[in-house]
Amino acid sequence: QVQLAESGGGSVQAGGSLRLSCAASETTFSRLYMGWFRQAPGKEREGVAGIDPDGQTYYADSVKGRFTISLDNAKNTHLQMNSLQPEDTAVYYCAANFWNLGRRANDLSSPNFRYWGQGTQVTVSS
């Protein structure tokens, strides 16, 4: 069982930046691909960014050029969010699953990720 814990949410004005972090409990972290999702009130959850164990990254069109997903050596994944807009307001979730030849982070749909964090709120005011 993989446990994920997000941190770094908060409130910011439009045009500002936030950095979200996600710590994974899995001791074989190098086997995981990771993703970030968000869900705004009244909307479906959407995938915004994913990263494979080899560092290959994937982004939703809505955040491309503004958000950056990364990994570090301490079993953490990060989401750097720049040029934030009010429409980025949502609860952000970290997610993960075990990588194999037929499964990787390029599929930013919820069923492709088995493990989920509790979520962290991001609020962007205009």
24-44 pLDDT, tens digit per residue, is 987 676 789 999 999 999 999
| 80 φ, ψ (degrees, to nearest 5) | -85, 120
pLDDT at position 16 over 90: yes
- pLDDT for 71-87, tens place per residue? 987 789 999 999 999 99
- State yes or no: pLDDT of 97 exceeds 90: yes
pLDDT of residue 126: 94
Contact 4, 115 (CB under 8 A): yes
Average pLDDT in the chain: 94
Predicted local distance difference test score (pLDDT) of residue 122: 98
Alpha-carbon Rg for the chain, nearest whole angstrom, is: 13
pLDDT at residue 21 in the model: 97
Rounded Cα gap, residues 18 and 106, in angstroms: 23
**pLDDT at residue 40, as a whole number:** 97
Assign 101 a pLDDT band (cuts: 50, 70, 90): confident
